[in-house]
Amino acid sequence: MGVWDHFYKNSAFDEGMSTHYVNLPHYICMKKKPNVQIDEQHEEMGWFDLHEVASNTGFHEYMQNYASWLIKVDTNDD
């Protein structure tokens, strides 16, 4: 999916210190949903339709960007 920059106003170390992450996201197509185990960092997880994620401001803007990118790639593959 390329190189994506993520910028945050705070960090895990200091609420007043900004953070810059360089993400290298990947995607794969699976025949069925994998059995995902959540860990101590997460309380819950769920599966969502890409169009819902891309258009619903309840999702983080970076998730919306990923979803929009995937929708565009899927549309171009038709």
In this predicted model, what pLDDT tens digit does every residue of 1-60 receive, in sequence order? Answer: 999 999 998 888 888 889 999 999 898 888 998 988 889 988 888 889 999 999 999 999
Whole-model pTM?
0.71
Place 78 in a pLDDT band, splitting at 50, 70 and 90.
low
How many structural domains does the chain have? 1
Contact by Cβ (8 Å): 20, 26: no
Residue 18 lies in domain: 4-76
C-alpha count within 13 angstroms, C-beta hemisphere, residue 3: 3
